[in-house]
């Protein structure tokens, strides 16, 4: 499935055992922006990544599960969402793939504890069925733990 992504292939990938073996390390990308990228190991021809971003000025962050560079699941905290079908979804919310709208649809993330970045990633990884064998460290800004 190295080509087109659709709901059926995504469902298959979500069911497969997946893991991240390395630690998740945040790096500064811009003045107010931190990011991490982690490779997801899985028995598939697809390239799987977990990507996180944090804007400390807005106090907003996102975790994204990418397949071949396309976001198939996402957790956004600190920002609202407007679905292509015109429903508004608040924060936090889960973005999910549908064939007509790709990953532009969202629902409330009421099944994930988003009281901290660490609990949010734990819930997001569980939702995506990804095991983290490495360590997730919450970013530190100017001596403050987030």
- pLDDT at position 1: 44
Taking 70 as the threshold, does the pLDDT of residue 142 lie above it? no
- pLDDT at position 139: 85
What's the average model confidence in pLDDT over 38-64?
95
Compare 29 and 55 and report the one with higher pLDDT.
55
Compare 4 and 77 and report the one with higher pLDDT.
77
Taking 50 as the threshold, does the pLDDT of residue 55 lie above it? yes
- pLDDT at position 3: 59
Look up the pTM and report it: 0.91
What's the average model confidence in pLDDT over 51-60?
93
Q: Strand 93-98 and strand 102-108: pairing? A: antiparallel
Using the Cα atoms of residue 85, residue 14, residue 124 and residue 109 in order, give the sign of their dihedral: positive
- pLDDT at position 106: 94
């Amino acid at each position: 499935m190295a080509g087109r992504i659709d709901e059926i292939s995504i469902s298959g990938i979500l069911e497969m055992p997946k893991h991240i073996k390395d630690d998740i390390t945040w790096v500064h990308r811009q003045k107010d922006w931190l990011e991490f990228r982690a490779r997801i190991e899985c028995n598939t021809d697809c390239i799987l990544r977990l990507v996180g971003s944090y804007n400390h000025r807005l106090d907003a962050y996102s975790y994204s599960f990418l397949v071949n560079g396309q976001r198939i699941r996402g957790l956004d905290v600190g920002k609202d969402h407007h679905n292509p079908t015109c429903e508004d979804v608040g924060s936090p919310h889960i973005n999910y793939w549908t064939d007509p709208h790709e990953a532009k649809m969202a629902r409330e993330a009421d099944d994930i504890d988003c009281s901290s970045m660490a609990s949010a990633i734990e819930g997001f990884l569980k939702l995506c069925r990804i095991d983290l064998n490495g360590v997730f460290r919450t970013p530190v800004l100017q001596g403050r733990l987030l």
